[in-house]
Amino acid sequence: MTRKILLALAFVLLCSHDMYLKPVSYFLEPGTESRIALFNGTFEKSENVIARSRMQDVSLVGNGRRTALDSTQWREQDSVTILNFTSGEPGTWVAGVSTLPRNIEMAAEDFNAYLEHDGILDMLKERRNAGTLGEDAVERYSKHVKTIFQVGEALSADWNHELGYPLEFIPMENPYDIHPGHRLQVRLLRDGSPLADQLVYVGARAASHTHEDGGEVHSDEADTGAHTHEAGGEEHTHGPGEEVHSHSGDGSEGHQHDGIRSLRTDSEGLVTLDIDAAGVWYLRTIHLVDSPEEGLTHESNWATLTFAIGEGHSHSHGDADSAHTHEDEGIPAYLLWIGSLLILGILFFFFNRRKR
């Protein structure tokens, strides 16, 4: 009985714990203090923090250099782990986090539910076909997450830097060099080689004037990202490029772009995203295979990638919530004040002269 409770608890803890790196803004000015939130839960809401000891690699890549970050730059705020950093020189930057593997035991029915819940449908089908749905599982899992953000105006070549994680997304173009209406190809690598025929889920939060905060800790929004398979047992098909279903309007603030799309990598490990809106985009996949290792039944690697697509002008207005923060918004203050003093001066001289 105790074992069952523990297994159920472990299942709950594991479920939906996708990991994402979410900069507070995807468009930063050079040399400014900023932060990147590490969400562990869904794209919308972090359920818990990540212990520093679990972080096998934390890297920032920019201006042609890869910098390993130490644990002192991290802190916890509520259920979010946050990296404080100062943005560097102008260019397109990459941040990545890779965690150490952990094992989890799951009863057969919990394992099956998790496979369905998290969209690992190939393994579910395999178990169904092999008649092994009744077998318990011991899974080793690790997570590898990346984000790409833009500092200043100048684009640079670091956006496709390969961090060497076991599972990793690499865009084929700089996301900050494209705009809505573009098609973006992203390659999925497994140990450095293209991974074919792998399900990838894509979501987006359209840019709007409200705030897409990478660091939003207290979002009351409904989870719109990872729960693509728990809509009341509704059956879903998952053909390439096919819409799974949309949670728009189920309590979210209307940021949701158009639900989660399910794609499958081609023979070269590529998926093609139809970039139809500015805002924050994210990809997630879980590569789960049978494990030959003693004491394990399966091994999984989880990967996510986040980036923002601008409106077609430099520095789209943040939110991120956006890509939306206020930092690049509005009329430059000095122009406002100089213009004001000028108008005031002209008016004063006009009225003063008329008086005489």
Binding flag, residue 78, another protein (CB under 8 A) = yes
* One residue of 209, 251, 258, 268 binding another protein per CB under 8 A: 209
Q: State the nearest-atom distance from the C-beta of 168 to another protein, in Å.
A: 27
Binding flag, residue 343, another protein (CB under 8 A) = yes
Binding flag, residue 143, another protein (CB under 8 A) = no
Q: State the nearest-atom distance from the C-beta of 150 to another protein, in Å.
A: 13
- State the DSSP string of 116-160: HHTT-HHHHHHHHHHT-TT--EEEEEEEEEEEEEEESS---GGGG
Biggest distance spanned by C-alpha atoms of the chain = 100
Binding flag, residue 25, another protein (CB under 8 A) = yes
Cα–Cα dist 268/118, whole Å: 24
Cα–Cα dist 179/26, whole Å: 15
In this complex, which beta carbon is closest to another protein, that of residue 3 or of residue 354? 354
In this complex, which beta carbon is closest to another protein, that of residue 147 or of residue 285? 147
In this complex, which beta carbon is closest to another protein, that of residue 23 or of residue 269? 23
In this complex, which beta carbon is closest to another protein, that of residue 202 or of residue 206? 206
Q: β-strands 27-28, 137-151: how paired?
A: parallel
Binding flag, residue 156, another protein (CB under 8 A) = no
In this complex, which beta carbon is closest to another protein, that of residue 183 or of residue 348? 348
Cα–Cα dist 323/319, whole Å: 3
- Rounded to the nearest 10°, the torsion over CA 56, 80, 28, 174 is 50
Token pair for 324: 């939306």
Binding flag, residue 204, another protein (CB under 8 A) = no
Binding flag, residue 71, another protein (CB under 8 A) = no
In this complex, which beta carbon is closest to another protein, that of residue 119 or of residue 279? 279
Q: State the nearest-atom distance from the C-beta of 85 to another protein, in Å.
A: 9
Only one residue has tokens 């102008």, namely 90
Task: Return the ∠ at Cα 102 (arms to 101 and 108), rounded to 5°.
Answer: 125
Q: State the nearest-atom distance from the C-beta of 167 to another protein, in Å.
A: 29
Half-sphere exposure in the Cβ direction for 22 (13 Å, CA)? 36
Q: State the nearest-atom distance from the C-beta of 258 to another protein, in Å.
A: 17
Q: State the nearest-atom distance from the C-beta of 35 to another protein, in Å.
A: 6
- Rounded to the nearest 10°, the torsion over CA 116, 117, 120, 124 is -20
- Rounded to the nearest 10°, the torsion over CA 194, 197, 198, 199 is 140
Binding flag, residue 351, another protein (CB under 8 A) = yes
Here's the x/- map for another protein, 318-337, by CB under 8 A: it reads as -------xxx-xxx-xx-xx
In this complex, which beta carbon is closest to another protein, that of residue 38 or of residue 283? 38
| Number of Cβ atoms within 10 Å of the Cβ of 223 | 19
Binding flag, residue 352, another protein (CB under 8 A) = yes
Q: Near another protein by CB under 8 A, which window of 105-113, 172-180, 202-210, 221-229?
A: 202-210
Binding flag, residue 347, another protein (CB under 8 A) = yes
Report the candidate in 272, 271, 242 with the shortest Cα–Cα distance to residue 259.
Answer: 242
Residue count at the site for another protein (CB under 8 A)?
43
Cα–Cα dist 103/298, whole Å: 10
Q: State the nearest-atom distance from the C-beta of 87 to another protein, in Å.
A: 8
Only one residue has tokens 């997630």, namely 284
Cα–Cα dist 164/168, whole Å: 8
* Helix, strand, or coil (residue 293): coil
Q: Near another protein by CB under 8 A, which window of 33-41, 115-123, 186-194, 228-236?
A: 33-41
Report the candidate in 189, 38, 161, 39 with the shortest Cα–Cα distance to residue 92.
Answer: 161
* Helix, strand, or coil (residue 54): helix
Binding site for another protein (CB under 8 A): 24-25, 28-29, 32-35, 75, 77-78, 82, 84, 208-211, 213, 215-218, 325-327, 329-331, 333-334, 336-337, 340-341, 343-344, 347-348, 350-352, 354-355
